[in-house]
Amino acid sequence: MKLRFFLFISFLIHYSIVYVQNMDFSCGADEVNTHIFSEHPELQSGYLRAKQQLDAFTKEYVQNHVFDKSGATYIIPVVFHVIHDYGAGNISDEQIYDAVKQVNIQLRKLNADTTEIVNDFKHLAADVEVEIRLAKIDPDGNCTNGITRTYSPLTNTGGHVVKSLVHWPPEKYLNIYVCNNVGPNLAGHALMPAVADTIPEWDGIVMQHSYIGSIGTSDPFKQTVLTHEIGHYLNLYHIWGGNNVPEFYYLPVGNAGNCAYDDEVSDTPNTIGWSSCNLSSVSCGSLDMVQNYMDYSYCHRLFTEGQKLRIHAALNSSVANRNNLWTNANLISTGVIDADNLCHCVFDANKKVICAGESVTFTDLSYHGITAREWTFQGGNITSSTDSTVTIVYSQPGVYDVSLKVYQGTETLTETKTDFIQVLDKLPTSNKLIENFESETNFANRWCIPENELFAFQRTPYGKDSDYSLYVDNFNGVPNSVYSIVSKPFDVSMYTKYVVSFDYAYAKSGGGNGEKLYFQVSEDCGETWVNKNVFVLSNTCLGDVETEFFPTQDEWEHAEKLVVVGTNKSNHEMIRFQFGSKNGNNFYMDNINIYNEAEMGLAQENSSHNLFVYPNPASTQFVLELGEGLLLGEVELYAIDGQLMSVTHVQNQSAANIDVSMYANGTYFVRYVSTNQEPLVRRIIVAK
C-alpha cells in the first residue's frame, strides 16, 4: 500500500506505546517525555538520515527477498533489567523465563490458537523466524543469566531515565526494562531503529512488570504485549499506521481518519485500529486484521509474511546495528549458542529475619544446566534437600548458616552463606527499648541487620552525647541501595500508643540528595510491614559536604513518631528503619527509644509555658527555670524507661538546680508538677 502520512519535522520521533486495555487511548499525551528534538534539535538531521537509509534499504530488501524460503532463524541476545523498589515489580526469574518462552512461541507461530485465525488471513500468518535468548555472558565477559536487578525509585516513572541506571551495548543485546510503571495507562514502549540509531543510549524496550509473560504478576491475557513491543523494536508500525507518540505526530487508535494512512506493509489491510476483538469489523472497506500482533485488540494471533520481510530487513540493516545482533561472533560473545556450562551457584530466601516457629523458603538461582543440587540447613527442621525450592521451619532462636551445592554431571559449585538466617525469640523480653549503641553485646541482642553487605548499618565511634552510634557508609556505598535495621520483638499489648524517638545526623553532597528514612512497623513478627512515616533527610544548615561526613555534636537532629497500636495489640511488635540511598553523604542514628506515650505525658512537652532546661546536654547538673517562677511543687526526673530517678521539692523560687552526676549517659525527662497548673515535661540529655 502507498504510504500517505504527513511528516512534521519537529515531531519526527518514531516511538511506540502500548496502552493498557480498556483505557482511553487518546489520553497518552502526557505519558512519556519525548521532547528530544526540542531539547536537542541537532539530532533531527541524524534521525532523518537514519530513517531515509532504513526506508530505502527496507524497500529494496523486500523486493529482493519476497520469495525467500531459507528457514534460517535470527537469534537475538536479550537482557532483562528489573528496576524495582523491592515490591511486586521485582518479578521472579521464572516470570522472565516464561516471557521469553511466550515471545518465542508467538514469533515462531507455535501458539496453539493459530487455529482461531480468521479464515481470510490464515494463509498470511507467518513464522517470523526470529528467536530471543537470554544472554549467558555479560558485556564484561562474566557469567550471567540474562537478568539484572537494580533498586531505584525510577521504577515508578519508567521513562527513558531508567536506561541511565544500566544499559548493555545495544549493538549486542536487546535491553528490556521491567518497571512498576511506564506512564498512566501504559503497558510498554520501545524505540524503533531510526530513533535508536540516533540515540543509542535509549535503545530498548520498557515494560510494566504486569505485562511480562503469562505468570507471576502477569496473566495469559497480557502475554502478547512484549511481542508487540519487539515488533516495534524490529521496525513494525501499528497496523493502522504511524505511532502513538505523546507530543509528537501520531495516529490515535480507532480514529476514522486512519483509513488514509498505512503501516508500510502490503498484506495488512487498511484499518482504523481496534482495542476490542470484533473479528468481523470492516472499517476501511475491507475486513480488518484485528488479530494482528501490532493492533491493540488483545486477541493477537499472527504476524503476516509482509511483516516478516520488514522485520528481516531491519535485522539486515546497519541502522541501529540490528545487523550485528544475530551474527555468529555476537552470539558467541553473548553466550547464547554455547552449551549450558555450570558457572554460578547462588540462592536466596524470601525472608532472612523470622521468629521461632516460622518458615523460610529458599530458592536455587544457580546457572546454567543444573542437573542436581544438595542443600544443607543449620538449625532447620530438616538438614538437607535436593529440591530447587525448599521451605524450612526454624523452631529455635539463633543465627544459622545455609549451604547449597549444585551439580552438572561431575562438576560442582558450592555457596555457603554464614549467619544468613536470624531467628528471633517470639516472646518479647520488654515493652520498652532504649538503645544508645554503646554496648556491642546489647546491640546484637536487640537488633537485626538483614543485609549482609559492606555498606549496611554498622556501629561507629561518632555518637550523639556518647561514644557510639549507628551509621550507613553512604559516601562510599552503592547509590539506590536500601539498608535495614530491625528491632527484635517487644510487647505493646498494654499500650494504646507508644513513642519512637531517635537522633540522626546527615549531610548532602554535590552528587545528589533525596535519601529517605522509612519507619515501619510489623505486628506479625516481620511477616508484613506497614509504613508509619517517611523522613526526607536534609540538613540545610550544612549545605553540600563533598568530603566524607563525620558529625559534630551540634550537627545532630532529633525526630520522633507517635505510633497508634493496632487492634491486634501485638505482644511481638517489631520496628524497622530502612535507609534509601541515593548519592548523598553518610547517615547516622543514635538514641533510639521506644516507650509508652502515656507514661511521661510526652504530649505536653511542647507546652506554651516558658519552662527552660539548661545546659542541655548536662554533665553534672542542670537548671530548671520557669518564666513565671517555680511555685510550690516537685521536679521529678525520669529515665527513658519511666523509672523515677529523683524528686526535688521547690517553693516560690525562680529556678532549681538538679544533680545528675550519679546518672548514666542517656535521655531523661524532667517533669514539673505543681498544684495550680498542668504538669510540664522537658527532655534532658546527660552526657559526661
Task: Supply 152's cell numbers.
Answer: 531505584
Q: How far apart are CA 207 and CA 351, in angstroms?
A: 27
Strand pairing of 147-151 and 74-84? parallel
To which residue does cell 552526657 refer? Answer: 687
User: Are 614 and 683 contacting, i.e. CB atoms less than 8 angstroms apart?
Assistant: no
Distances (CA, A) of 400 to 15, 346, 405, 444: 51, 17, 17, 15
Sheet strands side by side (includes 677-686): 644-650, 633-639, 666-674, 677-686
Q: What is the DSSP-derived secondary structure letter of residue 163?
A: G
229 is catalytic: yes
Dihedral angle sign, alpha carbons of residues 620, 626, 631, 635: negative
Helix (H, G, I), strand (E, B) or coil at 626: strand
Beta strand segments in 9-73, E: 15-19
411-424/353-355 β-pairing:
parallel
Positive or negative, the CA dihedral 262, 263, 264, 268 is negative
- Helix or strand holding residue 63 (H, E): helix 44-65
Q: Which residues contact 86 (CB under 8 A, 6 or more apart)?
A: 151, 482
Reference 374, options 416, 405, 332; nearest CA is 405
- d(CA 676, CA 527) in angstroms, rounded, equals 49
Which of 229, 358, 573, 636 is labelled catalytic?
229
Report the DSSP pairing between strands 74-84 and 174-179.
parallel
Q: Give me the active site residues, please.
A: 229
